[in-house]
Structure 1
Amino acid sequence: MKLEMICTGEEVLSGQIVDTNAAWLGNQLMESGFEMHRRTTVGDRLSDLVDIFNERSLVADIILVNGGLGPTADDLSALAMAKAMGVELVEDKTWRARLVEWAKGRNITLSDSNLKQALLPEGAIMVDNPVGSACGFRVKFNNAWLFFTPGVPHEYKTMVTEQFIPFVKSESAVRSHVEVTKLLCIGIGESDMAEQLETLDWPQGITLGYRSYTPYLELKLIARDVPKAQQTAAMLQAKSALKDCVVAQDKNTLAAEVHHLLSERNATLAVAESLTGGEICSQLVAYPGSSHYLKQGVVSYCNEAKMSLLKVTEKSIVEETEVSMICAAQMALGAANANTLINRTDYAIATTGIAGPQGGTDTMPVGTVVIAVKAGDVIACQEISIASTRNRNYIRDLTVALAFDMLRRAILGLPAFAEYNYIKRTNACTYSREELEALS
């Protein structure tokens, strides 16, 4: 099935605004097991719109047309489609009634410009817009279904998610069955992943897709008309090849995976952050229900906070520095014990390090990171060296992901330290709670 997109608007064509809608759609289609075959951008000229509708409808199966449905004179998508079809614009009574209610709720008097948004090509099927005043519509023209949506991002994304993707799936159901398995990875580059995977034998109908977004690399196994047993075999083959670099399945982030694991087990977590400055907690509280497991978070950016709030000993900082495994371990234990009104948490995370661009030394360069994870009465610590050529944000983002992966491994009972492809571990050890408390 050939899927295309037509983006309309002079501001898009001239580069005055960046067309994020198109990039977003491409990713949404890929995640649903479909690939966009072509994307065309056209301005707000009636003849150009008519021409492109005629041209692409002879080639594609489904075309999403984005933009040009508003109340102003340059919103010409409905009129251009009517002219291409050789029909008149007619008022959709259902949408006019919605506009009347919409205006009443906002104490607005409807103008002819507003009512223009209820005019659709004769024979068009109205597509509901639950969050805006311009409805969408779809028409079958030549070989294609043309599916029209407003260009306003929050309206467009709602309609794509709730209506366009289901429509594409319904149309594709008679053609092929598509399923997508996503494997979230860290610590491996795209070229290394491709080299390891693309020499393997894959069942007919399985294709590989890659998506890189810091600090992750996502592998998509796209199965078209492939039996479930073969899909499972392909997924296991990919996991076997990539080993520890695979950190989650069908999750977009490690925060999502950790949220799921902690919630599922009714476990509790405390966090102590220096290098990451609250980002670990921030990613977790984005998920509803995180209050059930996240008991406390401490951002101890200075040494005084580490000592007063987390009970890191002055001796540890003086003798080993604040970027040391003993310091990180004491931070994790201190976070778990920080609130005397609750029991010690099941798990704790601590991060410390040098994100740069200043602050590094010959013995402790920028990119030196220490992470500790407490699970029960054992605290595992590792020191990581991230290339100093990486910027501050990358170092912090990767540290958050590595901390989550250490926690994930602890929850699942896996060995504490993973072997990634390009992440260099310079030191590692474990402490018992008794050892650390004896140092206090």
Structure 2
Amino acid sequence: MKLEMICTGEEVLAGQIVDTNAAWFASTMMEQGIECQRRVTVGDRLEDLVAVFQERSNEADIILVNGGLGPTSDDLSSEAMALAKGESLIENREWKERLEAWFARNGRVMAVSNLKQALLPESAIMIDNPVGTACGFAVKLNRAWLFFTPGVPFEFKQMVKEQFISFVKQHFDIDGDVSLRKYLTLGRGESSLADELEKIELPKGMTIGYRSSMPHIEIKLFARGYLAISQLDKIEAQIRFLLGNAIVADEKVSLAAEIHELMLSAGLSLSVAESCTGGMIASQLIDFSGSSSYLHHGLVTYSNESKVKVLGVKPETLDDHGAVSIATVEEMAKGARAILDSDFALATSGIAGPTGGTEDKPVGTVAIALATKGAVYSQMIKLPRRSRDLVRSLSTAVAFDMLRRELLGEAVIVDYESIGRFKK
């Protein structure tokens, strides 16, 4: 079975919005053992939509079409599909009644333009949208089934999970002969990782891919076919042996996601004191529901005065060592942990740039500390020639990795190939 996706919308094509639907869809289908083999993005132009529907329907078995089902003049998916099929748009009475009931139930007057959302190609099968005003529909054209969904992310995702996957399984034999494993790495570049992993002799049907999402590189291990899938554990063991400390998480999009899961499982608490990272550590954690169960507080103590008055950093420490120093960041971490007697505290202080560096402490110098109830671990890393954003995100990732390693009972401080470290 050949699965493809067509994404519609001028704002997507022009880069005005990021198409998060497409990435989520490909990942979700891969979890079902179905590989999305092609994705096309097309603007809100009728002739282009008709052309791409006709072209891809001769090549694919099933195509998910995302977007263009709204009530405005630039929502053209239904009309384009009718033209591609050579048939008329017909009012779907069931959806019209659903629309009228929805507006009445919500105490709103339905605009005339909303009636457009009940117009479907004559041969279309209506697909329910339980959370929006645009129904989906499915049409058979040439070789392919085209399955239409609205572009609103929460509507789209619910329809994929509740209707599209079952539609695929109903119409096609899914033998689950594709498997994907993902490894998140830190501290090594893509070319360095590739040079190392080229030493592995991969079985037929298996490939290794790379995705740069700084500060991480994600390694993707694809296996197609049962023979390749049976070799996954063996190849994974070789990858782990070759990369060692560079692998920081499995099947996670970020280290924050790994920390969130580990902290929930451990039932322990965390406080954070940030200077150069400016709240990035805390912000990444609170992206996840349930983080309030372990995150006590996140303090952005940017000025020296706040480090002294809020965290209890000694003025003489700042005078003798400076704000960006092991001594200061250790006192920051101990002070943050002591406020609510947290199990752990992370602290950062650095020079993110592009100005502010000195000969002794150039731009990209960052001190990071992890305080526990029994010890304090700290290091000063070097991140030269990185942008301000990358200095902050790399520092956040290293801080997370220190905590991750402590939670797993491993050495907290390790060397990273592409991240320098000041020796104590």
Q: Same fold (TM over 0.5)?
A: yes
Residue 414 in 1 paired to residue 410 in 2? Answer: yes
SS in 1 for 2:423: strand
1:350 counterpart = 2:351: no
Secondary structure of the structure 2 residue equivalent to 1:20 = coil
Shift of 1:421: 1.8
Identity, % of aligned positions: 48
Structure 1 contact 26–35 (Cα < 8 Å) conserved: no
Partner of 1:37: 38
Deviation at 1:371, TM superposition (A): 0.6
Q: Is the 8 A contact 2:326 2:378 kept in 1?
A: yes
196-205 or 212-221, larger mean C-alpha shift: 196-205
Pair 162,318 (structure 1): closer, same or farther in 2 beyond 3 Å: farther
Count of residues in Structure 1 that have an aligned counterpart in Structure 2? 419
Q: Is 1:117 aligned to residue 113 of structure 2? A: no
| Mapped partners of 2:188, 2:28: distance in 1 | 21
Judge which range, 27-36 or 124-133, deviates more: 27-36
**Residue 282 (structure 2) pairs with residue 286 (structure 1):** no
Q: Is residue 220 of structure 2 the alignment partner of residue 220 of structure 1?
A: yes
> Following TM superposition, by how much is the alpha carbon of 1:396 offset from its aligned partner in structure 2, in angstroms?
0.7
1:363 aligns with 2:347: no
Distance in 2 between the 1:40 and 1:353 partners? 42
AA matched with 1:298: L
Shift of 1:28: 3.5
5+ residue gaps, structure 2, are none
Distance across 2 between alignment mates of 1:142 and 1:406:
55
For 2:332 and 2:127, the matched residues in 1 are separated by: 55
2:7, 2:39 within 8 Å by CA — same for their partners in 1? no
The alpha-carbon distance between structure 1 residues 222 and 169, as it changes in their structure 2 partners (threshold 3 A), is: farther
Counterpart amino acid of 1:255?
A
- The residue number in structure 2 matching 1:313 is 314
Rounded to whole Å, the distance in 2 between the matches of 1:18 and 1:302 is: 36
Q: Which residue of 2 aligns with 1:332?
A: 333
**What is the RMSD computed on CA atoms of the aligned residues?**
2.6
Task: Write the distance in 2 (CA, Å) between the matches of 1:317 and 1:74.
Answer: 60
Distance in 2 between residues matched to 1:313 and 1:67, nearest whole Å: 58
Letter in 1 for 2:419: I
Letter in 2 for 1:294: L
- Distance verdict in 2 for CA 1:216–1:10, change over 3 Å: closer
Comparing 60-69 and 227-236, the one that deviates more = 227-236
- Conserved? CA contact 1:6–1:41, under 8 Å: yes
1:42-57 to 2 correspondences below 5 Å? 43-45=44-46, 47-57=47-57
Q: Which residue of 2 aligns with 1:134?
A: 134
1:115-145 Cα offsets, whole Å, 9 max, x none, are: 2312222332222323321111112221111
Shift in Å at residue 232 of structure 1? 2.2
Tell me which residue corresponds to 1:58. 58
Q: Does 1:423 align with 2:419?
A: yes
Residue identity opposite 2:417 in structure 1: N
Q: TM-score, normalised by structure 2?
A: 0.90
Say whether the 8 Å CA contact 2:7–2:22 is kept in structure 1. Answer: no
Q: Confirm or deny that 1:398 pairs with 2:394.
A: yes
1:303–1:148: structure 2 CA closer, same or farther, 3 Å change rule? same
Q: Quote the Cα distance in structure 1 between the aligned partners of 2:124 and 2:257.
A: 41
> Partner residue of 1:239?
240
